Amino acid sequence: MIMLMSTAFLIFLICMLVMLLASLISKKTFSDREKNSAFECGFDPKSNFRMPFSLHFFLIAIIFLIFDVEITLFFPLILSMKFSFFLNYYLMILFLISILLLGIYHEWNQGALNWMF
């Protein structure tokens, strides 16, 4: 146990040392308003150079990703159907589907699924 803790502590110290050296040696950059703005041959830009990002689209994408990962929980249940009792299998599937439906209802109730233009 002591060997494991000392090895973990040694790894932690090496990581901290490397991070400290990287921050000391790294190139320092100073950014100002002129360097961050768009450059159009010395003239002021005619439009905003950064495209607006839809936060609602990002939220829908994250919700899709979460529910997509939860759907993958059903694949092991398909394989375990042969080895389990029908009542246990039915209760497990009912439990997982109810969690998914409660999550969708919560997102719908919060208004995260409404597309507004």
DSSP assignment string, 74-106: HHHHHHGGGTS-HHHHHHHHHHHHHHHHHHHHH
Q: In this model, does residue 117 exceed pLDDT 60? A: no
115, 26, 23, 112: which is closest to 62 by C-alpha?
112
State which residues form the domain around 106: 67-112
Q: Could you tell me if residue 93 is inside a domain?
A: yes
Give the chain's mean pLDDT: 80
Greatest mean pLDDT range, 26-30, 76-80, 97-101? 97-101
Q: In this model, does residue 48 exceed pLDDT 60? A: yes
Percent of the chain with pLDDT over 90: 15
pTM: 0.46
Q: In the structure, what pLDDT confidence band is assigned to residue 116 with cuts at 50, 70 and 90?
A: low
From CA 93, how far away is CA 114, in angstroms rounded? 28
Q: Could you tell me if residue 71 is inside a domain?
A: yes
Angle at 81 between CA 86 and CA 102, to 5 degrees: 80
Q: Could you tell me if residue 25 is inside a domain?
A: no
Question: What separation in angstroms does the CA of 1 have from each of 4, 8, 9, 84?
Answer: 5, 11, 12, 40
| Number of structural domains the chain divides into | 1
Q: In the structure, what pLDDT confidence band is assigned to residue 75 with cuts at 50, 70 and 90?
A: confident
pLDDT at 86: 85
Q: Could you tell me if residue 33 is inside a domain?
A: no
3-state helix, strand, coil in the chain (%, to 5): 70, 0, 30
